[in-house]
Amino acid sequence: MPRLSKENLDFILKKNKIPLEEVFDATGLRRKDYLPIMENNGYRLAYGVNNLHRIWAYIKSKKW
């Protein structure tokens, strides 16, 4: 999956009001590997994943 440009990442973060500190670069990781990292470190959004819609649904299901 191509990496997000700074402009794309800024747009996504501003639109969804997610601070950069809560975004995780999961490039090259499998879902079962990066989800525990995200949960343990308070990340709300992962990019560089193969199925962003599925991950976004998971994130929206969490209570923040």
The DSSP code sequence of 30-59 is -HHHHHHHHHHHT--EEES-S-HHHHHHHH
- Entry pTM: 0.64
pLDDT tens digits, residue range 1-48? 456 777 877 887 888 888 888 889 888 888 889 999 999 999 988 888
Q: Does residue 32 sit within a domain?
A: yes
**Residue 1 falls inside a structural domain:** no
Residue 41 belongs to a domain: yes
48's tokens: 């560089």
DSSP letter (8 states) at residue 2: P
The number of folded domains in the chain is 1
Distance of CA 25 to the CA centre of its chain: 7
What is the token pair recorded at 25? 């670069």
Both tokens of residue 56? 């976004």
Range of the domain at 38: 6-61
